[in-house]
């Protein structure tokens, strides 16, 4: 019997700082609100684990290899160990390959590794941690990853499909209310944001459709993809960024705010419309000499003040981060299912 395994490779030159729990909070901190996101993330991982366990008991269990993981980005390092634990919790065995001196790692070496993993039928997911060292061309690396193994959804072809307003992808009718019906990989963090909004809708009836949504940030990793996912769900979208004038006034009109700009406490409570929903995707490491670790993690939103204004808000840590890991596991699981003919795509 084959044993499922998950491979992770990481160019690591920084200290690991961890974000572990998932939650969604409301101003009154009711038990349902504060624990709901955490339960949702656990449900996703539990479902993957149960399916994997049942298949291992059969004739031909899967081998699920997530990613060679490469890069130096602080956010990626925050996720490194939680990813390994999440894999183990889902019955996956992780393998970590570290490159402490990323500057000595050549582009051709990385391309050769990716080509090898593309051809390896035991590998069902490849994730390249961004940003890469300056001497490595990001676009060339991402383009080299097999689209079907691009579990982070950043291959140019997968991004193009996400940014298309077509109703079909080939023969597949796209249902953006059900990500499992989408025959290509969607970026993990934006996907996690939408899943949290879905959970809020289940609890409070706050639907995405027709809402005025403001996305703060325009990166390819989060801002632009999450804006497109919101658009696919029929929200009215505004994207603001560092060159936007009167940014506070624009955000004050939003019923849904997604903050993904990477600036600690940038968004103040006075910027927010009372009763809005805030998904804080920022994860900023701030020095805190008086703490045991010497640092603390903060979001892009001033949580202490904003929670008194919002209807719902995700904290940092414990908000979007764990959902990102859950979506990575789900993408990899779906990649294996497609590779073994269980689902089309």
How many CB atoms neighbour CB 345 within 10 A?
16
User: Are 129 and 192 contained in the same domain?
Assistant: no
User: Are 2 and 143 contained in the same domain?
Assistant: yes
Residue 224 has a pLDDT of 98
Going by C-alpha positions, the residue among 55, 77, 96 that lies closest to residue 295 is 77
Q: Write the pLDDT tens digit of every residue in 294-344.
A: 888 899 999 999 999 999 999 888 888 888 888 888 888 888 888 888 787
Residue 194 has a pLDDT of 95
pLDDT grade for 45, boundaries at 50, 70 and 90: low
Residue 285 has a pLDDT of 86
Query: Cα-flanking dihedrals φ and ψ of residue 161, to 5°?
Result: -65, -40
User: Are 318 and 200 contained in the same domain?
Assistant: yes
Q: Which residue segment(s) compose the domain that 92 sits in? A: 1-36+52-147
Total domain count for the chain? 2
In a domain, 206, yes or no: yes
Residue 272 has a pLDDT of 98
**What is the SS3 assignment for 293-337?**
CCEEEECCECHHHHCCCCCEECCCCCCHHHHHHHHHHHHHHHHHH
**pTM across the whole model:** 0.82
Whether the bond between 54 and the residue before it is cis, its omega within 30 degrees of 0, is no
Who's near 28: CB < 8 A, 6+ residues apart? none
Q: Write the pLDDT tens digit of every residue in 8-28.
A: 333 332 333 445 455 555 554
Going by C-alpha positions, the residue among 111, 131, 226, 229 that lies closest to residue 174 is 229
User: Are 107 and 221 contained in the same domain?
Assistant: no
């Amino acid at each position: 019997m084959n044993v499922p395994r998950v491979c992770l490779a990481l160019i690591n030159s920084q200290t690991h700082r961890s974000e572990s729990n998932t939650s969604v909070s409301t101003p009154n901190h009711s038990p349902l609100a504060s624990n709901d996101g955490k339960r949702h993330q656990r449900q996703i991982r539990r479902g993957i684990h149960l399916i994997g366990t049942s298949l291992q008991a059969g004739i031909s269990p899967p081998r699920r290899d997530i990613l060679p993981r490469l890069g130096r980005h602080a956010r990626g390092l925050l996720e490194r160990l939680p990813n390994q634990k999440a894999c183990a919790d889902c019955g996956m065995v992780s393998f970590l390959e570290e490159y402490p001196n990323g500057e000595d790692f050549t582009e051709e070496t990385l391309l050769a590794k990716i080509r090898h993993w593309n051809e390896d039928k035991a590998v069902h997911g490849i994730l390249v941690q961004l940003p890469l060292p300056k001497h490595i061309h990001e676009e060339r690396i991402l383009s080299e990853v097999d689209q079907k193994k691009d579990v982070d959804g950043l291959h140019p072809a997968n991004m193009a499909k996400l940014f298309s307003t077509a109703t079909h992808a080939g023969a597949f009718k796209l249902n953006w209310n059900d990500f499992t019906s989408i025959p290509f990989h969607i970026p993990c963090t934006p996907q996690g944001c939408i899943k949290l909004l879905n959970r809020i809708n289940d609890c409070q009836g706050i639907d995405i459709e027709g809402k005025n949504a403001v996305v703060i940030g325009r990166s390819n990793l989060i801002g632009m993809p999450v804006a497109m996912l919101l658009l696919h769900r029929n929200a009215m979208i505004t994207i603001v960024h560092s060159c936007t004038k009167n940014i506070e006034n624009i955000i004050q009109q939003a019923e849904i705010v997604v903050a993904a700009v990477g600036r600690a406490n940038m968004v103040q409570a006075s910027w927010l419309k009372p009763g809005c929903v805030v998904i804080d995707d920022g994860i900023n490491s701030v020095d805190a000499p008086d703490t045991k670790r010497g640092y603390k993690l903060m979001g892009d939103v001033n949580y202490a003040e904003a929670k008194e204004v919002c209807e719902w808000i995700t904290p940092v840590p414990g908000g979007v981060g764990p959902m990102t890991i859950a979506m990575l596991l789900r993408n990899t699981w779906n990649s294996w299912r497609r590779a073994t003919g269980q689902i089309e795509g």
